[in-house]
Amino acid sequence: MCSARRGFSCVAVVAAWLVVVSGGLAQETKQETKTDAALQDSIKAGAEKVTLDLSAGVQMELTLIRPGSFMMGDAKGGDDEKPVHKVTITKPFYVGKYKVTQQQWEAVMGSNPSEVKEPKNPVEHVSWEDCEAFLKKFNEKFGSKSIKFSLPTEAQWEYVCRAGSSTQYCFGDNEADLGRYAWFINNSKGKIHPVGEKRPNAWGLYDVHGDTWEWCADWYNKEYYKSSPASDPTGPASGAFRVCRGSSWDNLAPDCRCGFRLFDMPSDRFPYLGLRIVCSW
C-alpha cells in the first residue's frame, strides 16, 4: 500500500422501493418512476433520508448533505495536508450513512470480493477500478441522465467527515475519545468490524474514522492544495494514484484524522480498502 507518508424533464425507471423520511415521518411507496423534480421537491420539503432497496430486502440509506464551507486540511498534519484552505461545497448531495457493506456489494455485483466474509462488514479488498464497475451497475439500476451515483470527491469526503467541526477528529481533538467513534489499531483486535457499531458524527454518518479506508474520486497530487479551486474542487486532471480517506482497523489514531490523506494505485486491492457512495444531480 502506498501512502503520502506511510505508507442522478428526464424519467428514470427505478424498480425499487423508495423510502423518503421527512419531518420525522416515513412514507413508503412503490414507484416505477422517479423524476428529478420529485427528488428536488423531496429535498425542499426537508427529506433528510433516502433509502434504496437494492434487492431481496437489502437496503442502502443515504443522508442529505446541504451546501456549506469548511477549512480543508490540517496545519499540524503532513505537507500534503497544507495549506489549510477554505472550500465551499455549492450543491447539496446525498452520501451513504454507512460504508458500502458486503451484502450491498453482492446485491449489485452478484459476488463478494472481501477476504473476511461477513454481510454487515464493509466490503473490502476492492480497488478503485472495482468501485467504478460497482457504480456503473448501480447507476444502470438507480441513476438517470441527471442523477448520478459516484465516489465522493476528496473535498466532499472531508466535508462530511468533519460535519461542521474544525478539529482533528469529527468529535474533537482528544485522541482518547477515538475508540467511541472508530475501529482502529487500539481496539479492533486486528480485524474489520460491522458498520454502525460506533457513534456517528454530528451529521449522523457512521465510521467516518477507521474500519476501512474509503476510495475517493480524485487523483492524488501532494501539491494540489496549493492551487485547489475554492469551490467544489475535484482534484487534479490526471495522476498515477487515487485518494483514499478515513483510515482503517489497522491504523494508528493520527492516521484517522479528518485531514489525513492516503493514496493508492487504482488497481490496488487490500483488506482495508472500501468505499462510501454519494448521489448528485
SS3 102: helix
Q: Do the Cβ atoms of 127 and 269 come closer than 8 Å? A: yes
Give the neighbor-by-neighbor strand order of the sheet with 148-150.
Answer: 25-35, 11-22, 47-55, 58-65, 93-96, 278-280, 148-150
DSSP code string of 206-266 = --SSBSSEEEEEEEP-TTGGGT--SBS----S--S-EEEES--TTS-GGGGSTT--EEE-T
Q: Is the pLDDT of residue 2 over 60?
A: no
Calpha distance 114→270 (Å, rounded): 9
Residue with cell 448521489: 279
Domains belonging to the chain, first-starting first, are: 65-280 (3.90.1580.10)
Calpha distance 124→203 (Å, rounded): 24
Q: Is the pLDDT of residue 117 over 50?
A: yes
Residue of higher predicted confidence among 245 and 27: 245
Residue with cell 419531518: 23
Q: Is the pLDDT of residue 31 over 50?
A: no
All cell numbers assigned to 145? 441522465
Calpha distance 256→34 (Å, rounded): 38
Instruction: Tell me the pTM.
Output: 0.87
pLDDT of residue 11: 30
Q: Do the Cβ atoms of 79 and 173 come closer than 8 Å? A: no
Q: Which of 37, 112, 60 is nearest to 278 (CA)?
A: 60
Calpha distance 186→115 (Å, rounded): 22
**What would the pLDDT profile of 33-83 be if each residue is shown by its tens digit?**
344 455 445 545 557 898 899 998 999 999 999 999 999 999 999 999 999
